[in-house]
Structures are given as structure tokens and as C-alpha cells.
Amino acid sequence: MHDRPEIRFCSVSKRFGSLWANREISFDVHRAEIHAIVGENGAGKSTLMKLLCGHFLPDEGFIALRGRESRFRSPRQAAEAGLGLVSQQPHTFPQLTALENVLAGHPPGLFRLLRPAAARTRVEALCSRFGFELPLDQRAGELAFAHRQQIQLLRVLYRDASVLVLDEPTSLLAPPEAERLLDLLRGLRFKDHTVLFVSHRLSEVLSLADRVSVLSKGRCVGTYATADVTRERIARLIAEDGGAVGSPPADRAANELGGAHAARLSISHAPVVEEEDRAMRGPAPNNRQLVSLAAGAGTSSCPHERSVGSRGTRIALSLDGVRSEVSTDESPLDRVSLELVEGESFGVGGVVGNGQRSLARVVSGLEAAVEGGIHLAGEDVTRMSLRDRRLRGLRWLPANLTDEGMLPAASLLDNCLLGLQREMRFQRYGWLRSKPVFRWASAMLSAGDVRYPALGYPASSLSGGNLQKLGLCRALEGKPRVVLLEQPSRGLDLLAQKQLRSRVHELRAQGVSFLVISHDLEELFELCDRIGVLFRGALMGVQNTNQARRETLVRWMLGGP
């Protein structure tokens, strides 16, 4: 059927310094196929995609496109050959409007006239076909992350690229949006497009891809047809070379918790996938105990809108009818009230733009609440600055780390210290004590399994997943009381996600509360005792995780009762 592969990787190697990012990778991608690439953080997936799209040349081996060796010296040449990359960190031009952003990505003849009206019609048609609700006249800098990702996707679609390369496209999308994206990719395959995508979500990979290639430590472990391979097998392959995973996650038997949210979205997957899904989703056994322990008090009462005060434990964080400033891209909070007891983990879900960002900004102190009060362990912190809240034990992992949590050009050491520099153990009379800082930072990073070249390297030298790990390390460092996690497992591989879960449960046992904000329902199910859903800035309802039904949550996300 396929006489000639669309893309052939032929023992491709790429080295950065002494580190082999890709080592002798060989596999084929067929025409009109959806080909998934999986692997843990730092396995070289993003590097491989960038090699393909002309960001740099391979040191050894070659990549052949439609039977001819392609040596793209620039992304422009790759784009002209019909390749389109949607990268993990969306590259948008903050002061150009969304529409201009899409057009700028279309490799243009410089002296061509823009035809805004015609372009707008085409982009609008694409938007409505794929269900994007993108405000075309808004500046990209004011748009939510998911919208910026849509811009990237639109650029590629607008250009009519025949090969789409997507680097973790769904990592920040809520289930309804992610499903729509996956449908879109399926549709593109029927129109003879080839899709290469990198993902950490195995359920997605198995339901979408025709074939999957597994990368591990820069090498390609194998390529499999998704019809012939099980989820456990892939998980084992990913972990195999890494060696760090003691037992593959599939060993954890499907349990009732898995069953409780096996009710899926209306778009049905292959039944076999669903079964494997459930097996994977089961959290670690100790996790189960904690969940039932923490949620125990509420099991007898009504599943929705349960009051937590009855637990008799101390309240760590409470929001009381909080409203926030109206902003351009995000629904403001509309009288949100919630209470977190010590050691509890509360999840907030919702479709992008429905107020999760506002919630994070208001709770962290970046934005002031217009109305209502916020109490941290009984103390009114409504008017307190970010720093004062931090001193009282509130920590925050922002969703877009490179914008709000890191200085990409500054060294890793500086980034570790960011926000902690005034603590007495790190400074004396305003002078940083370099040795303790250095020791502390290296200990923290190695404990958090962050893979980094040296502390003096800029933060931008880390891969997306490692950067996230660094952010998590910093958020969980010291003695937090309430930790606000936004999209915590963004870019994390299965192993790192597991480590995150166990770290969260460990801290919760010590009485730390978590407020988890995520677009990913699976993540919320795994990390939280209770899950609430925001819609247009209002809390639609709250469910106990062990009684929660996916359908209800998804209905709330879309504004249903």
C-alpha cells in the first residue's frame, strides 16, 4: 500500500555538548498516517521534531522526505517543503493581533500585499470548522495559553502543510477541547495529511495514532502499530531503558476508583483502549488510602456542594465570595467560595478561559480581589502582597512557567533562588551566601530528578519537562502550608507524574493543602479529594473524587446544570 515512506529517519544522531540528544534513530512515517512519538522527559522527542523541521541539522545520519534526503538549513525551507511544526512553547508575537499572528506564520513573499478581508474569511472558516473560539482582533499577548496554541495550529493549517508535527498539543487543553483537537487530526489524516505527534498521554496515543515510536534516552526502542500493542507494553518500553521505574504502572490493578471515572466523554474510544485506560489510571495504593481517609467525613452526605467545615479540622485556605477584575481573555471570578482543610487537595477544572487563571492570580496575590475575602489559616490575606502571602506559607506553581515563574536567560541557580533570596539561610546583610545556596540548589534539583548540565547554565537550556520539575521543586520547597499548583504535570512523563503524586501525598500527610488547577480531568482525579468546575468564572459545583462522574464534570465545564 505504502511503497515509499513520507518521512524516513535514517540513523539520525544529534549531540549537544557531551550529551547525545538523539542517537542513531531510524524509523519510517507513512503517508496519511498519524504517528505518535512517546518517551520520558529528555528522551529527545522535541530535538527530533526540531531536526525534522529544520531548526538544526543532524550531526550524523539523515532525514528523507518523500524519498529524497532533506537537509533543511532553516525552518523556512522545511515550511516550503510542506512541514509545519506546532511547538510545545507557543511562539506568538505579543503585540500582533491573533489574525496577524496567523498570517505572519505563512511564509510570505515579502512584497506581496496582505488581503486582510480574504485572510480573515479563511481563518474564520478554519476556526469554525475546528471549533476554535479565537478572538481574531485581540493581541496575542493578551490571549490565554490555549488560544496561543490554536494560533500556532492555525498557522500550520492556513499554510496547508502536508506534514503536521505537533509537540504535546493537548497538554494544556481541557477534555472537550482536547477531544476536538484529536478529531481534527483524525479529519486531517483522511485528507491525506501526515501527522507526527509527541504526547505523554498514552490513552490519547492509542486512540488516535496508527503507529507509535518509542524513544528512550535518545534512542528509538521500536515502532509499533497501535492495534498490536498494549498500553502496558508501551509503558514498559518507555521505562525500560530509563530503568528508574521499579514496576510498570500497569501492575497496579484496576480498582474501583478507576472504575468510577471510566465513564467517558461522548466521543467513544475503542473498547480495548478504555480497558487499558482504566488500568493505567489507577493511582498508587497509598494514594487510595489517603483519598478515602480525607474524604471519609463527607461520604454519607450529598455528593454535591458538600460542606467541609464539618470535618473538625483546621481550615487552611478559604475563599469567601471572591470576585475579580474583568480582564480581556479570561472570565473574572464570580463570587467563588471554597474551603480547604489541612491536608486536603482540591481540584479546579474547566475549559480554558473560564476563570482558572483568574483564580490562580487572585489566590497567589498577583491580582487583587474586587470583592470577597481570602483567608489563609484563619488570617485575612485579601489585601496582602504576594511576598507576604508567601511568608505565610502559600506557594504557587504558575501555568506558564517561562512567563511567570522563570527567568529563561538567567542561570539555573538564580532560578532556584528566585523569591527565596531574602531568607536568612541564603543571605547575610544583603550578601548572598554562595556556598549554602549552591549546596541547597544542587540537593533540591537532584532530589527532584531534574536533569541539568550545570547550575550556571541558563534555564532555557532545560527541556520543557525538566523545567516543570524545577518549578515544582521550588513550589514544594521549605515549609509550605497551601500550595497552588497550576497544570502541575504539564510536560511531565509518566515517571515524573508518579513522583509528583507521591510527593503530593507525602506532603498532604504532613498537613499541607493543595489547590490544583488543571484542564486535565485525569490529573485532577489522581491528585484531588474534591473536584470543582469553573464556568464563566463561577463554581458550577463540587464533587467528591470517589463519587465523581466524568459526565457531570464535563457537563458543568460546558455550562450545564
Q: Considering the rule CB under 8 A, would residue 95 count as an interface residue with another protein?
A: yes
Among 48, 103, 173, 308, binds another protein (CB under 8 A): 103
Q: Considering the rule CB under 8 A, would residue 92 count as an interface residue with another protein?
A: yes
Among 1, 18, 110, 312, binds another protein (CB under 8 A): 110
Choose the binding region for another protein from 89-97, 258-266, 351-359, 372-380 (rule: CB under 8 A). Answer: 89-97
- Residue 14 beta carbon to another protein: minimum distance, rounded to whole angstroms: 17
Which CB atom, from 20 or from 56, has the smaller least distance to another protein? 56
Q: What is the β-pairing status of strands 336-341 and 315-324?
A: antiparallel
Which CB atom, from 111 or from 431, has the smaller least distance to another protein? 111
Q: What is d(CA 463, CA 453) in angstroms, rounded to the nearest whole number?
A: 11
Buried b (16+ CB within 10 A) or exposed e, 491-528: bbbbbbbbbbbeebbebbeeebbbbbbbbbbbbbbbbb
Which CB atom, from 102 or from 257, has the smaller least distance to another protein? 102
- Residue 140 beta carbon to another protein: minimum distance, rounded to whole angstroms: 9
CA distances from 447 to 112, 299, 476, 496 (A): 54, 36, 12, 12
Q: Give ∠ CA 460-463-469 in degrees, rounded to 5.
A: 100
CB 241 within 8 A of CB 527: no
Which CB atom, from 83 or from 220, has the smaller least distance to another protein? 83
Q: What is the β-pairing status of strands 345-349 and 336-341?
A: unpaired
Among 1, 3, 18, 109, binds another protein (CB under 8 A): 109
Which CB atom, from 92 or from 518, has the smaller least distance to another protein? 92
Tell me, by CB under 8 A, how many residues bind another protein.
30
Choose the binding region for another protein from 91-99, 333-341, 527-535, 539-547 (rule: CB under 8 A). Answer: 91-99
Q: What is d(CA 194, CA 198) in angstroms, rounded to the nearest whole number?
A: 14
Residues in CB range of 301: below 8 A, 6 or more apart:
307, 310
Read off the C-alpha cell for 234: 508501551
Mask 33-72, x = binds another protein (CB under 8 A)? ----------------------x-----------------
- Residue 146 beta carbon to another protein: minimum distance, rounded to whole angstroms: 17
- Residue 328 beta carbon to another protein: minimum distance, rounded to whole angstroms: 11
Among 2, 4, 108, 299, binds another protein (CB under 8 A): 108
Task: Write 262-266 long-range contacts (CB < 8 A, 24+).
Answer: 263/549, 263/550, 263/551, 264/550, 265/175, 265/176, 265/179, 265/550, 265/554
- Residue 104 beta carbon to another protein: minimum distance, rounded to whole angstroms: 4
Which CB atom, from 95 or from 268, has the smaller least distance to another protein? 95
Q: Considering the rule CB under 8 A, would residue 113 count as an interface residue with another protein?
A: yes
Q: Considering the rule CB under 8 A, would residue 100 count as an interface residue with another protein?
A: yes
Choose the binding region for another protein from 83-91, 359-367, 531-539, 545-553 (rule: CB under 8 A). Answer: 83-91
Among 91, 120, 122, 550, binds another protein (CB under 8 A): 91
Distance of alpha carbon 239 from the chain centroid: 20
Read off the C-alpha cell for 88: 510545545
Residues in CB range of 351: below 8 A, 6 or more apart:
174, 176, 177, 519, 535, 557, 558
Q: Considering the rule CB under 8 A, would residue 75 count as an interface residue with another protein?
A: yes
Q: What is d(CA 141, CA 146) in angstroms, rounded to the nearest whole number?
A: 12
Q: Considering the rule CB under 8 A, would residue 348 count as an interface residue with another protein?
A: no
DSSP 31-42: TT-EEEEE--TT
Choose the binding region for another protein from 8-16, 80-88, 173-181, 234-242 (rule: CB under 8 A). Answer: 80-88
Residues of this chain, 119-178, that bind another protein according to CB under 8 A? 141, 155
Q: Considering the rule CB under 8 A, would residue 80 count as an interface residue with another protein?
A: yes
Q: Considering the rule CB under 8 A, would residue 93 count as an interface residue with another protein?
A: yes
Residue with cell 501525598: 505
- Residue 337 beta carbon to another protein: minimum distance, rounded to whole angstroms: 34
- Residue 75 beta carbon to another protein: minimum distance, rounded to whole angstroms: 5
Residues of this chain, 386-425, that bind another protein according to CB under 8 A? none
Read off the amino acid at residue 194.
T
Read off the C-alpha cell for 238: 518507555
Which CB atom, from 159 or from 217, has the smaller least distance to another protein? 159
Among 19, 57, 114, 447, binds another protein (CB under 8 A): 114
- Residue 109 beta carbon to another protein: minimum distance, rounded to whole angstroms: 7
CA distances from 231 to 118, 217, 237, 308 (A): 45, 20, 10, 38
Read off the C-alpha cell for 418: 528566585
- Residue 97 beta carbon to another protein: minimum distance, rounded to whole angstroms: 10
Choose the binding region for another protein from 94-102, 296-304, 461-469, 494-502 (rule: CB under 8 A). Answer: 94-102
Which CB atom, from 102 or from 294, has the smaller least distance to another protein? 102
CB 198 within 8 A of CB 49: yes
CB 349 within 8 A of CB 553: yes
- Residue 81 beta carbon to another protein: minimum distance, rounded to whole angstroms: 11
- Residue 19 beta carbon to another protein: minimum distance, rounded to whole angstroms: 21
Rg of the chain taking only CA atoms, in angstroms: 23
Q: Considering the rule CB under 8 A, would residue 78 count as an interface residue with another protein?
A: yes
- Residue 54 beta carbon to another protein: minimum distance, rounded to whole angstroms: 9
Q: What is d(CA 450, CA 555) in angstroms, rounded to the nearest whole number?
A: 38
Q: What is d(CA 489, CA 520) in angstroms, rounded to the nearest whole number?
A: 9
Which parts of this chain interact with another protein (CB under 8 A)? 55, 74-80, 85, 87, 91-96, 100, 103-105, 107-114, 141, 155
